[in-house]
Amino acid sequence: MKLFGAKPKTTGEPRRLWLDLGDLGDLVNPAGPHEQWQDHGLGLLRTILRQNGLQTDLASTRACSTWDQVRAKLRGYDVLIMNVRSYTYPSAYRSAKLFKEVNPNGLVLTGGMHATVAPDEMEAVPEFDKICTGPGEGVIVDLVRDPQSFPRIILGQGARSMAEWPVLDRTLWPKPASWKLARKFNWPLEPECGWGPPAVATILTSRVCPWQCVFCNENSYIANMGRRPVEMVIDELNFIDRRYGPVGSVVIHDSMFFQNPSWLEEWIEKYPRLARTPWPYWAAARADTVRQWPELFEALIRDTNWRTVSIGFESGSDRVLRILNKECTEEDNYFTIDLLDRIAGDLERQGQPAPVFWSNIMLGIPGEQREDAFKTMRMLKYMRRVLPSIAFYAPYPGSALGHQLIAEGKSLMTKDNYHRYPDDEKVKGIDYQFYRELLAGKYDAEVNKGLPELRRRRDDYTNALTKA
Ligand code: B12
Ligand code: SF4
């Protein structure tokens, strides 16, 4: 298969701009740490383009403070390229319109998750000239070289395995756009966000999650793809550390790191031995698989410095977990909480840093009752070492439940407002006032029922509410 296209032609090229997307100002004076993460889709595709002699300039809506600044950046280009996710769709939409305003003959090439899950919505916008659904690594070179030879809707082509992906050229990522942010950013590495020491290196080892949670079900739209071999991941981290480091910690951005036991066993064997430093890292698991493979989980924590364990607990109620098709139970959740607690206590006694949960919790799920929400908050309070990440359920296109709610006219997410503020209301008919009061502590008496005295403390959960 000709994965990355034919040989380059470098002269007389059209002027091309890759526009990194996100909320205005996020690379100037960001609202929070997660707004500063770099985009691996952009990094991968610009690396491939560069290796094939196709130059793209770079601008970022996140590096601008006003739409006038964005307009000025867009002027004078023949081609605009964007990676559009649902949560960046509003900025993609507005940027495409501005681009056509200042370059009426210019072409807008798009791809990304939103193009994949909601191509109809994008097709209705005439400013999007080409819309690539699915993975772009097999098509990007030919598309950028000769866009007019493609139809408007393009079926993307991915690699069979992430082993085929080149090492990202991280210098192709946008820079922080203010001296204040630049001081702490560690570009082309990434800034600290509370999960581990700076500088942070983000990396992907897998792209596919085989589960079918109805609020997500990525495997219905992310094509199957082999995992990146363990040694390639470690080599890339060592290279980053040598070239741009020192790296302080790693964030493994996989949707589901804790899968494929044989890959994980190899990681346990090689990471402590071959990594220049066994950097502490953040990575994701599920409560049911932790319960299925507790020894593997424990070995990863103890031997590979897995220090921030992201778990999509989502709910503390079996009824809601079933609505979500989470395939995890209350019992799985408590098993995982107790196991991490035991390992953490043990490591602390040995004077070592203890692992913590990054605990994803959803509230405001259609069908959730008050008692379910109390159980969820009770479960959260039961965790002793936890960074809570609470979100009001958001009906994203691409997910089964999202599609259903959109079709029923119950979604409050629009192209101008896929997600703006953490406490935005996302679904019609949900009593958001109740949830705000729940987070503020109004129902603590109910939540605390059955909780040991020590775990009845009150954290400010309103601040734990994240954009979703
Ligand atoms: C890492 C990650 C994050 C990180 C960092 C995000 C970032 N800056 O990149 C963090 C933790 C911050 C995050 C947060 C959120 N995320 Co997120 N995240 C991911 C994750 C796990 C990996 C993204 C990634 O790097 N993929 C790998 C790269 C290579 O893929 P890619 O960018 O899609 O690009 C490929 C194709 O799309 C295509 N392509 C892209 N651009 C273009 C352009 C052209 C021209 C072409 C031809 C092709 C093309 O080719 C690329 C190579 O194959 C994905 C799930 C996943 N497995 O992809 C979710 C995902 C993107 N996130 C999602 C969501 C909803 C969020 C949140 C809103 C909350 C949440 N539920 O997690 C927040 C909002 C963030 C914000 N900024 O406000 C959804 C998006 C759904 C959608 N319909 O768009 C996903 C799909 C997960 C999910 N199923 O819910 N996220
Ligand atoms: S929520 Fe997590 S476990 Fe469920 S399908 Fe998505 S990535 Fe997989």
Which of 117, 216, 362 maximizes ligand 2 atoms within 8 Å of its Cβ, making it the mutation to test the pocket? 216
Residue nearest to atom 1 of ligand 1 (CA): 253
Does the Cβ of 168 fall within 6 Å of ligand 2?
A: no
- Phi/psi for 290 (5° steps) reads -60, -40
Q: What is the pLDDT of residues 413-460, one digit of tens each?
A: 877 767 667 778 999 999 999 999 999 999 999 999 988 876 777 677
Nearest atom within ligand 2 for CA of residue 216: 6
- pTM comes to 0.95
Q: Is 392 helix (H, G, I), strand (E, B) or coil?
A: strand
* Residues 82-107 pLDDT 10s: 999 999 999 999 999 999 999 999 99
Q: Which residue has the tokens 């007389």?
A: 12
How many angstroms separate the alpha carbon of residue 321 from the centre of ligand 2?
A: 12
Sheet holding 107-111, edge to edge: 57-60, 16-20, 79-83, 107-111, 130-133, 153-155
Mean pLDDT on 206-212: 93
- With a 6 Å cutoff on the Cβ, whether 465 touches ligand 2 is no
Find the Cα–Cα–Cα–Cα dihedral 345, 350, 351, 354, rounded to 10°: -30
Say how many CA atoms lie within 13 Å of 13 toward its Cβ.
15
**If you take atom 67 of ligand 1, which residue's CA is the nearest one?**
468
Q: Indicate if ligand 1 lies below 6 Å from the C-beta of 420.
A: no
Per-residue pLDDT reduced to its tens digit, 28-72: 998 878 889 999 999 999 999 999 999 999 999 999 999 999 999
Name which of 174-188, 208-222, 282-296 the model is least confident about: 208-222
Quick check: CB of 216 below 6 Å from ligand 2? yes
Ligand whose nearest atom lies closest to the CA of 26: 1
Q: What secondary structure letter does DSSP report for 414?
A: B
Task: Provide, rounded to the nearest whole percent, the portion of the chain with pLDDT above 90.
Answer: 86
As its CATH architecture, domain 192-464 has Alpha-Beta Barrel (3.20)
Mean pLDDT of 276-281: 98
CB 258 within 8 A of CB 289: yes
Residue nearest to atom 73 of ligand 1 (CA): 468
Measured in angstroms, how far is the CA atom of residue 85 from the centroid of ligand 1? 6
Ligand 1: nearest atom to the Cα of 255: 21
- Burial group, residue 88, by CB count within 10 angstroms (0-12, 13-18, 19+): buried
Six-digit token string for 251: 């964030």
For residue 253 and ligand 2, the question of a CB distance below 6 A is answered with no
- 437 Cα: distance to centroid of ligand 1 (angstroms): 31
* pLDDT mean over 157-182: 96
Please name the residue whose Cα sits nearest to atom 6 of ligand 2: 216
Give, using CA atoms, the residue closest to atom 4 of ligand 2.
213
Which atom belonging to ligand 1 lies closest to the Cα atom of 42? 41
Residues of the chain with CATH 3.20.20.70: 192-464
Look at residue 18 and give its three-state secondary structure: strand
Which amino acid type is present at position 242? R
Establish whether residue 114 lines the binding site of ligand 1, counting it when its CB lies within 6 angstroms of any ligand atom. yes
Closest CA to 81 of 32, 121, 139: 139
Nearest to 433 by CA among 366, 364, 378: 364
pLDDT in tens, 356-401: 999 999 999 999 999 999 999 999 999 999 999 999 999 998 899 9
- CB distance 382 to ligand 2 below 6 Å: no
List for the chain the helix, strand, coil content (%; round to 5): 40, 15, 45
Quick: pLDDT tens for 101-139. Answer: 999 999 999 999 999 999 999 999 999 999 999 999 999
Question: How distant, in Å, are the alpha carbons of 100, 264, 268, 285 from that of 301?
Answer: 51, 11, 9, 12
Of residues 187 and 33, the one with the higher pLDDT is 187
Q: What are the structure tokens assigned to 455, written together? A: 């775990």
Which are the contacts of 54, defined by CB distance < 8 A and separation ≥ 6? 8, 13, 16, 141, 144, 145
More confident residue, 58 or 2: 58
Per-residue confidence band for 7, with pLDDT thresholds at 50, 70 and 90: very low
pLDDT at 106: 98
Ligand in nearest proximity to the CA of 44: 1
What are the residue ranges of CATH 3.40.50.280 in the chain?
16-155
Residue with tokens 């502590």: 441
pLDDT of residue 420: 65
Question: Rounded mean pLDDT of the chain?
Answer: 93
Calculate how far, in angstroms, residue 200's C-alpha sits from the geometric centre of ligand 2.
24
CA distances from 314 to 40, 259, 323, 382 (A): 26, 19, 11, 14
Of ligand 1's listed atoms, the one at least distance from the Cα of 135 is 53
Distance 102 CA to ligand 1 centre (A): 29
- Ligand 2 centroid vs 214 CA: distance in angstroms? 9
Domain 16-155: top CATH class: alpha beta
Query: Is residue 2 predicted with pLDDT exceeding 70?
Result: no
Q: Is the CB of 209 under 6 A from ligand 2?
A: yes
Q: 215 C-alpha to center of ligand 2: Å? A: 8
Is residue 220 scored above 50 in pLDDT?
yes
